[in-house]
Structure 1
Amino acid sequence: MMPLDAETALADTPPGHKDELRLWLRLLTCTNLIEAEIRRRLRAEFDTTLPRFDLLAQLERHPAGLTLGEISRRMMVSNGNVTGLAARLEEEGLVERRVSTTDRRAQSLRLTPRGRREFARQSAAHEGWVAELLAGLSDSEREALHRLLGRTKASVRAGLQEGGT
């Protein structure tokens, strides 16, 4: 039996419930369902976690390396979280620390050759999983959804600017 999500829980709300709230709950439910399945598959197939995968992805995009602070900002987590993840990935030989070329007090992380190979395996599987989960949508539906979500993102950003946030 599927767990009850916020959108389903509100399915019988009285008329007049705001469409915007219902839309937000639909977006949140989709995100949560996909994320939970990706987390489950990463654990089952690679004995890893989504935060570890995300850290490797950040380093894959920046072959010269990133400081712990840069990684924490990009992942939107605390430096402490990144420090612990990085230490474990370093112990496994997936990342290496280097003294920063711009600030000798700072260290940067980058993928090792082994880390690149492992991330390539994980990211190929991840791409396939996402494709599988969205396979119920036609090409034109995916294009329309992508376009509408782009407009949604712009609307949210505009609302944040107007609100002074």
Structure 2
Amino acid sequence: MTDPLSKRRLKMWIRLLGVTRAAEGGLREYLRVTHDTTLPRFDVMAALWRRRDGVTMSELSRMLLVSNGNATTVVDRLEKDGLVKRSPSATDRRTVYVALTEEGGRVFEVWAAGHEAELSRIFEHVDEADLDALTAILKRMGREKE
């Protein structure tokens, strides 16, 4: 017997993807136009902001769910721009740590404030009750992984 909610769940998934893609597109455009940067650069800097002591390139790749090569390409550009720095490990010469520079931290704070404001604008039609309900639903949905 087929689950009677199966088709509705499929439609919900498609709607969820559509909302996510539209919001991501809006953020990409905002970052490009307002800060002359990309969402991958923002994501790398956000990860480094959360781990201010620095992370290995492998840790960074895992945090961002991207390949080492993709992370390296973004870090190369950020390093060239003076926003991140690489440091060799004192104990393993194959390991390199990456962290925000002081300038990178200042730049990220500006980007992050704008990013938050832009997301608030994108979702301005979602009120407090909607946020509470949606957050509770998404938390329940996320339990499937546990």
TM range (shorter): over 0.9
Cα offset, 1:154, TM superposition:
1.3
- 1:14-48 CA distance string (max 9 Å, x none): xx971110010011011000000000000000110
Larger relative contact order (C-alpha < 8 A, sep ≥ 6)? Answer: 2
| 1:27 counterpart = 2:27 | no
Listed as ranges, the gaps of 5+ residues in structure 2 are none
- In the alignment of these two chains, the number of paired residues is 142
- In structure 2, the partner of 1:90 is 79
- In structure 1, the partner of 2:62 is 73
Cα offset, 1:130, TM superposition:
0.8
- 1:76-101 CA distance string (max 9 Å, x none): 11111111111111110000010124
- In structure 2, the partner of 1:152 is 141
| 1:50 counterpart = 2:31 | no
Which residue, out of 108, 112, 134, partners 2:123?
134
Listed as ranges, the gaps of 5+ residues in structure 1 are 1-15, 159-165
- In structure 2, the partner of 1:37 is 26
SS in 1 for 2:126: coil
Q: Which structure 1 residue ranges, 4+ long, deviate > 6 Å from structure 2?
A: none
Identity in percent: 40
- 1:114-155 CA distance string (max 9 Å, x none): 000000000000000111111101111111111111111113
User: Normalised by the size of structure 2, how large is the TM-score?
Assistant: 0.92
Look up the equivalent residue of 1:152 and give its one-letter code. M
Look up the equivalent residue of 1:82 and give its one-letter code. A
Which has the higher mean CA deviation after the structures are superposed, 99-108 or 18-27? 99-108
SS in 2 for 1:98: strand
| 1:63 counterpart = 2:65 | no
Provide the alpha-carbon RMSD of the alignment.
Answer: 1.4
